[in-house]
C-alpha cells in the first residue's frame, strides 16, 4: 500500500508541476536548454552515505560557524536592469561559498563572474530569459574555467536581451568579454588573457521526486559536508515575503520557476519543526536581509525538488601580475600559458574522499 501511495503522490506531483510549467513557462526563469545534456557528473561518495541523519545538528548555517561567516556576498540579479539570471546567481554563489569554505574564510573573498556565464554559456546554461543551475556547472566543467567577477562584472545583459542598455552592449563570447580592462582615451578596452579563475571537479543533484522519504537528510548532509547548494523554488508566493518561516505546501505552488541557494537550516523552538535557511538574489532590501526561511521536509514551494551541488577543482589564490592597462597580459594565448612562479593555485580537497564533513571540522575550531 505504501508503495502505491508513494507512486501516486510522485505521479501527481509530476503532473501538477508539468501543468504549472506549461501555464507559467513565460514567467519561469528555470529553463533546461537543449545544449544541456549532462545533468550530473561525479564519482565521489555522496555525503549522506557517510553521515547518519542522527549525527547532523539541529541547527546549522554557513552564515554563522562559531561567529564566522563562510558565505560570499549577497547579490541582486535585477540591477542595473531586470535580468532573469537567478539560475546563474544561485549556482555561482553556492560555488563561490564552497571556495570560501575551502579557504577557511581567509584572504580576500573570491566571487565568480556571472557575466562570463551569461556571455558564453547561452547554449548550455541560459540567458536573461532563464536557464539552469546544472547547466552552469556543465559549462564550467567543459569549458575548463570561469573568471573572477572583477574580470567581467555583472551588467544584467545577455545576447538576446533588450532591457535597459542591453541592446547597445556586446555580450558575445569573446576574449574581451571573458576578462577585460579599459583605459582612458583612444586606447579603449582590451582583453586580458592571463587572469584569475576557478575550475569545477564534480556536480550532481538531489530531488524529492526521486526520493520522497530521505531527501531532507541528503540535502542537509550535502550542505554540512561540503557547503551551500543551489535549489529551485516557486517564487510567486514569496515576492512580498516579509519574514518568518514560509509554510506553503500546496501542490499547485510546487512548480519551480526560480533558483536560490540553501545555506543551512534551523529548528523552530515553538513547533520543533525544522526549516531551510535560503539566500535569494533580490538584494538585501528584500526578505530577511536577502534571505528567507521555509519549512523543511514537505517540498514547500518545490524547495526540495531541484537541488544541485558542485565541488571546485582548483582556483587562483595568487595571480600573474598584469599591468594596469593589461599590456603584458594581452599577447599570451591563455592563462594556462603563464609559467610565472608568482602564480599560485589552490586545489580543492573534497571531504567526501575521507568522509569528514567540513561543517563538523570547522565547528570544532
Contacts of 206 (CB under 8 A, 6+ apart): 215, 218, 219, 222, 229, 304, 307, 309
Structural contact between residues 299 and 246, judged by C-beta atoms closer than 8 angstroms? no
Please state the rounded mean pLDDT for residues 142-160. Answer: 96
Provide the pLDDT for residue 356. Answer: 75
Provide the pLDDT for residue 123. Answer: 96
Provide the pLDDT for residue 334. Answer: 53
Please state the rounded mean pLDDT for residues 123-152. Answer: 97
pLDDT, tens digit (0-9, with 9 covering 90-100), for 89-99: 999 999 999 99
- Among residues 221, 176, 203, the alpha carbon closest in space to that of 358 is found at 221
Cis peptide before 80, with omega less than 30 degrees from 0? Answer: yes
Provide the pLDDT for residue 9. Answer: 36
List 266's β-bridge partners, or say none: 275
Query: Predicted confidence band at 241 (pLDDT cuts at 50, 70, 90)?
Result: very high
Fold of 2-363: Cathepsin B; Chain A (3.90.70)
Residues constituting the chain = 365
Residue 41 main-chain phi, psi, to 5 deg: -160, 95
| Percent of the chain scoring above 70 in pLDDT | 89
- Mean pLDDT in the chain? 89
Quick check: 71 pLDDT over 50? Answer: yes
Quick check: 337 pLDDT over 50? Answer: no
pLDDT, tens digit (0-9, with 9 covering 90-100), for 318-335: 999 999 999 999 875 554
Nine-digit cell string for 278: 535560503
Provide the pLDDT for residue 340. Answer: 58
Query: Predicted confidence band at 129 (pLDDT cuts at 50, 70, 90)?
Result: very high
For the annotated catalytic residues, the residue numbers are 86, 258, 280
Q: What is the pTM of this model?
A: 0.90
Amino acid at each position: 500500500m505504501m508503495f502505491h501511495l508513494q507512486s501516486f503522490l510522485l505521479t501527481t506531483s509530476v503532473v501538477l508541476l508539468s501543468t504549472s510549467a506549461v501555464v507559467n513557462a513565460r514567467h519561469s526563469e528555470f529553463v533546461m536548454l537543449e545544449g544541456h545534456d549532462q545533468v550530473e557528473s561525479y564519482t565521489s561518495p555522496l555525503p549522506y552515505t557517510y553521515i547518519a541523519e542522527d549525527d547532523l545538528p539541529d541547527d546549522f548555517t554557513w552564515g554563522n560557524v562559531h561567529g564566522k561567516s563562510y558565505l560570499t556576498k549577497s547579490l541582486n540579479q535585477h540591477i542595473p536592469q531586470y535580468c532573469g539570471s537567478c539560475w546563474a546567481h544561485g549556482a555561482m554563489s553556492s560555488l563561490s561559498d564552497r571556495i570560501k569554505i575551502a579557504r577557511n574564510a581567509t584572504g580576500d573573498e573570491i566571487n565568480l563572474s556571472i557575466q562570463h556565464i551569461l556571455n558564453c554559456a547561452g547554449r548550455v546554461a541560459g540567458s536573461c530569459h532563464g536557464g539552469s543551475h546544472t547547466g552552469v556547472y556543465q559549462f564550467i566543467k567543459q569549458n575548463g574555467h570561469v573568471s573572477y567577477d572583477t574580470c567581467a562584472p555583472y551588467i544584467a545583459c545577455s545576447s538576446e536581451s533588450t532591457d535597459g542598455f542591453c541592446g547597445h552592449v556586446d555580450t558575445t563570447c569573446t576574449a574581451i568579454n571573458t576578462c577585460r580592462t579599459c583605459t582612458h582615451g583612444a586606447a579603449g578596452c582590451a582583453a586580458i588573457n592571463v587572469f584569475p579563475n576557478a575550475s569545477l571537479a564534480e556536480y550532481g543533484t538531489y530531488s524529492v521526486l526521486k526520493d520522497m522519504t530521505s531527501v531532507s537528510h541528503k540535502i542537509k548532509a550535502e550542505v554540512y559536508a561540503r557547503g551551500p547548494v543551489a535549489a529551485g523554488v516557486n517564487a510567486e508566493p514569496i515576492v512580498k515575503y516579509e519574514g518568518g518561516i514560509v509554510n506553503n505546501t500546496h501542490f499547485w505552488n510546487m512548480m519551480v520557476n526560480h533558483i536560490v541557494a540553501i545555506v543551512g537550516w534551523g529548528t523552530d523552538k515553538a513547533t520543533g519543526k525544522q526549516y531551510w535557511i535560503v539566500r535569494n538574489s533580490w538584494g538585501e532590501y528584500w526578505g530577511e536581509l536577502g534571505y528567507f526561511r521555509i519549512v523543511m521536509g514537505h517540498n514547500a514551494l518545490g524547495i526540495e525538488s531541484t537541488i544541485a551541488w558542485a565541488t571546485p577543482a582548483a582556483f587562483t589564490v595568487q595571480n600573474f601580475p598584469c599591468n594596469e592597462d593589461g599590456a603584458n597580459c594581452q599577447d599570451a594565448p591563455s592563462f594556462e600559458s603563464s609559467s610565472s612562479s608568482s602564480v599560485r593555485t589552490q586545489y580543492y580537497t573534497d571531504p567526501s574522499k575521507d568522509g569528514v564533513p567540513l561543517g563538523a571540522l570547522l565547528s570544532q575550531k
